[in-house]
């Protein structure tokens, strides 16, 4: 296994200006991502979880430079070279983009309804210089088989497929250029529960076959646990906990993770967890609370939580958390 991480994110920030008035005066900042750092190792799946509005999708989009970060580094290693995606020019990014692909949440709106499956999956090949149609179609046939669809489906349009099949088409398109990194943004949350497990299993098989590295974004911890080696928990633009999937489930060390786990709708009678119930809304990223940003919702809040920002620190090997009381 390659020891150097495929990707290193360091102090990544993405702020959006809040504008007001006739002259669009900037009156504040929405801190969607506020200084997060993590590594992504070759061949691993890192789950990124948090409620809606926690900033996880912004992280995924910034990693692929669909958004330009406000600050920080995103170091991507390829063929012995390191590229900082956060500051790279479009000219530098262009040849790198084929190695980083995205699987989208909504299989209904992410596929062009006027294109055949063959054209949808073959488009990235065409854009990257495979101009011979028969070669593209041969490749598309192979991809369709790999994602569990029939090659003869390639002349059909997206409307002829179910949600699960459309997501398989989206996955085939993401794989067309043999990427190294895939950011999967809630890839099963729009699907029926009965289909979710099939698509998750497919993603796991493909990860092994193509030695893919995943950032798997989801709001549902049970989905993330199924597929992830490690899990990072995000709250109000910051990481609050990071550890192996098993350790996070066995012994969460941040009250927010405890609360997310308590909401997992599967029976786990032997899991000896305190039942932390979340009340209130995710902190407003334009007006973050002082001290620990989770303190208005935390059942363990002490006085210092309201004034002192807890550091994101290692409390056991490879297990980091951001809580004054983690020990
Ligand atoms: Fe709760 Fe305090 Fe820990 Fe924040 S630092 S999570 S408020 S106990």
Q: In this predicted model, what pLDDT tens digit does every residue of 100-129 receive, in sequence order?
A: 999 998 877 889 999 999 999 999 999 988
How many angstroms is it from 8 CA to the middle of ligand 1?
Answer: 27
Is 71 part of a structural domain of the chain?
Answer: yes
Where in the sequence is the domain holding 84, given as residue range(s)?
Answer: 7-99+179-321
Is 152 part of a structural domain of the chain?
Answer: no
For residue 324 and ligand 1, the question of a CB distance below 6 A is answered with yes
Q: Is the pLDDT of residue 326 over 70?
A: yes
Is 217 part of a structural domain of the chain?
Answer: yes
- Which is the closest atom of ligand 1 to the Cα of 305? 2
Is 303 part of a structural domain of the chain?
Answer: yes
pLDDT digit string, tens, across residues 11-69 = 999 999 998 888 888 888 999 999 999 999 999 999 999 998 899 999 999 999 999 99
Burial of 79 (0-12, 13-18, 19+ CB in 10 A): exposed
Kind of pairing, strands 230-235 and 238-244?
antiparallel
For residue 293 and ligand 1, the question of a CB distance below 6 A is answered with no
pLDDT of residue 269: 52
pLDDT of residue 265: 67
The domain total for the chain is 1
Instruction: Tell me what percent of the residues of the chain surpass a pLDDT of 90.
Output: 78
Give the DSSP H/E element, type plus range, for residue 247: helix 245-250
∠ at Cα 135 (129, 137), nearest 5°?
110
How many angstroms is it from 293 CA to the middle of ligand 1?
Answer: 8
For residue 12 and ligand 1, the question of a CB distance below 6 A is answered with no
Is 131 part of a structural domain of the chain?
Answer: no
Task: Supply the CATH number for residue 271's domain.
Answer: 3.40.50.300
Is 45 part of a structural domain of the chain?
Answer: yes
Question: Which residue's CA is minimally distant from atom 3 of ligand 1?
Answer: 323
Question: Which residue's CA is minimally distant from atom 5 of ligand 1?
Answer: 323
Taking the C-alpha atoms of residue 64 and residue 61, their distance in angstroms, rounded to an integer, is 5
pLDDT digit string, tens, across residues 246-281 = 999 999 999 999 999 987 765 555 455 566 677 778
For residue 179 and ligand 1, the question of a CB distance below 6 A is answered with no
Q: Which among 88, 143, 39 is positioned nearest to 153, based on CA atoms?
A: 143
Q: Is the pLDDT of residue 298 over 90?
A: yes
**The tokens of 27 are what?**
């009156």
Give the DSSP H/E element, type plus range, for residue 91: helix 90-97
Is 125 part of a structural domain of the chain?
Answer: no
How many angstroms is it from 324 CA to the middle of ligand 1?
Answer: 6
Mean pLDDT in residue range 2-11 = 90
Is 326 part of a structural domain of the chain?
Answer: no
């Amino acid at each position: 296994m390659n020891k150097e991480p495929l990707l290193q994110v360091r102090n990544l920030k993405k702020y959006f200006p809040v504008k007001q008035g006739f002259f669009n005066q900037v009156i504040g900042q929405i801190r969607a991502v506020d200084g997060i750092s993590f590594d992504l190792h070759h061949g691993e799946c890192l789950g990124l979880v948090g409620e809606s509005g926690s900033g996880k999708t912004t992280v995924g989009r910034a990693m692929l430079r669909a958004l330009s970060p406000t600050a920080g580094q995103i170091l991507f290693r390829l063929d012995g070279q390191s590229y900082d995606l956060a500051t790279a020019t479009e000219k530098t990014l262009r040849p790198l983009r084929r190695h980083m692909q995205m699987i989208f949440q909504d299989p209904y709106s992410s596929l062009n309804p006027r294109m055949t499956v063959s054209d949808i999956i073959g488009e990235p090949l065409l854009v990257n210089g495979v101009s011979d149609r028969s070669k593209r179609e041969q490749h598309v046939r192979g991809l369709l088989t790999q994602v569990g669809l029939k090659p003869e489906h390639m002349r059909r349009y997206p409307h002829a497929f179910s949600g699960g099949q459309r997501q398989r088409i989206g996955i085939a398109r993401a794989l067309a250029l043999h990427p190294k990194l895939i950011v999967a943004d809630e890839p099963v949350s729009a699907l029926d529960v009965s289909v979710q497990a099939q698509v998750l299993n497919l993603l796991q098989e493909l990860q092994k076959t193509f030695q893919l590295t995943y950032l798997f974004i989801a709001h549902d911890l049970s989905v993330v646990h199924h597929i992830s080696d490690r899990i990072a928990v995000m709250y109000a633009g910051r990481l609050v906990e990071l550890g192996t999937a098993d350790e996070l489930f066995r012994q969460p060390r941040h009250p927010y993770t405890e609360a997310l786990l308590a909401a997992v709708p599967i029976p786990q009678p032997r899991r000896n967890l305190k039942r932390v119930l979340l009340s209130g809304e995710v902190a407003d990223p334009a007006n973050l609370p002082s001290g620990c940003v989770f303190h208005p919702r935390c059942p363990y809040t002490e006085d210092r939580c309201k004034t002192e920002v807890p550091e994101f620190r290692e409390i056991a090997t490879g297990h980091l958390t951001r809580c004054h009381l983690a020990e």
